[in-house]
Amino acid sequence: MLGNTFGRLFRITTVGESYGIGKGSGLAVIVDGVPPGLPLTDAFIQEEMDKRRPGVGKLNSPRLETDQCHIFAGLGQDGVTTGAPVGIIIYNVDTQPVHIEQYREYKDLCRPGHATYCFYKKYGQHQDWCGAGRSSGRETVGRVAGGAIAKYILQQEGIDLIAYTVQCMGIKAKEMSFDEAKQNYRTNEINCPDPEAAARMEKRVLEIKDEGDTAGGIIELRIKGVPAGLGEPVFDKLSALLAHAICSIGAVKGIEFGAGFEVGNMKGSENNDQFTKTDGKIGFKTNQAGGLLGGISNGDEIIIRVAVKPTPTISLKQDSVNMPKMEIEELSPITRRDPTLLGRHYSVIESMAAITIVDALMMARGYDNVCRIENKWREI
């Protein structure tokens, strides 16, 4: 299996499966490019891990994973990073035999909406049928652990980012500023900063859950404080790198920047962000571009919206195919699942965005140092 590494200078490599084999199975991440001297602790990483932990509340999977992380490499005797790769491990603690046997019962059936069919085509009969293996949402624990380190670095740079639910099953949150959204960040299970809309979203998700079904939605990502000049104008646009990072997350089916698909209904005069000057600084009157022009950050707030599909595991009967027999069969899974992914997925989106921005910062500063770009253009 290829493609388990993301990034160029700041880089993560993840390993591990949803269940694994026997006691001691788990997931891990190796983070390259971590600067020396960072006082990283398990407790700091754990704050991010708890955002996506299952088994908490009524809107996510009842799987009782504690997601306790441990930094096992990359720290010196003084408790700070040494510049070596940082390794973090998270053990699986709720891989009960009863759940493994449930997966075994229909291991030859392709679950609609899951990657099982594609895994059969790519890996044959040895594909991991237990809990979806590497295509499981559990794979993302390594991303969040690595993203925690990226967030620590961004804090030192004055860069802040949050992601939150803005739409679920047709229910939309009101528009708000970064500061307004952050004020109500993580104050409800679905992580919608509009309390009134959040209550209606949660009620609708629970109704759908009672039907044996699941709900999709849209998550918005806001990144504040990114300097202008990150990204390259052709293949390595910052928008392309962020899209790569976010679209690599399971269940993500769409992404838009700034005004997004609404630009198809705009005139150029409506879409263009006109310039302004305040206290000697150049800025923009609007932000239809979402903080990106020519694929390069323009210093404005980066705004991204992400479409997240409903959890594919449902309790309703569906037509499937028995791959060894090549026959259509009826499937009704009874395994654990999230009634919606929205209340946990935002943490993974934040993590992948943070990793991308740190990587882009390192690339840009390396280029600037070699090319000796005049600082005056950075000051305007």
For residue 64, the model assigns a pLDDT of: 66
Residue 334: which of 321, 318, 322 has the closest Cα? 318
Q: Is residue 338 classed as helix, strand or coil in its secondary structure?
A: coil
Tokens standing for residue 75: 């720290």
For residue 63, the model assigns a pLDDT of: 64
Task: Report the alpha-carbon angle 30-135-325, nearest 5.
Answer: 145
For residue 230, the model assigns a pLDDT of: 97
92 close to 291: Cβ distance less than 8 angstroms: no
Q: What are phi and psi of 293, to 5 degrees?
A: -130, 130
Give every CB contact of residue 225 below 8 A, 6+ residues apart in sequence.
157, 158, 159, 160
Say which DSSP state 128 is in. -
**What is d(CA 192, CA 333) in angstroms, rounded to the nearest whole number?**
30
48 close to 148: Cβ distance less than 8 angstroms: yes
For residue 52, the model assigns a pLDDT of: 84
DSSP string, 65-90: ----EEEEESB-TTSSB-SSPEEEEE
Q: How far is CA 250 from CA 62, 138, 143, in A?
A: 19, 10, 12
Per-residue pLDDT in tens (0 to 9) along the chain, 380 residues = 889 999 999 999 999 887 777 677 889 999 999 999 999 999 999 999 999 876 567 887 766 678 899 999 999 999 999 999 999 999 988 777 777 777 788 888 888 888 888 888 888 887 877 677 788 888 999 999 999 999 999 999 999 999 999 999 999 999 999 999 999 999 999 999 999 999 999 999 999 999 999 999 999 999 999 999 999 999 999 999 999 999 999 999 999 999 999 999 999 999 999 999 998 889 999 999 999 999 999 999 999 999 999 999 898 999 999 988 999 999 876 666 789 999 999 999 999 999 999 999 999 999 888 887 777 766 67
For residue 168, the model assigns a pLDDT of: 98
- Map out the domains of the chain with their CATH numbers: 5-379 (3.60.150.10)
Residue 309: which of 169, 136, 116 has the closest Cα? 169
For residue 55, the model assigns a pLDDT of: 58
DSSP string, 152-211: HHHHHTT-EEEEEEEEETTEEPPP--HHHHHHTTTSSTT--S-HHHHHHHHHHHHHHHHT
Say which DSSP state 317 is in. -
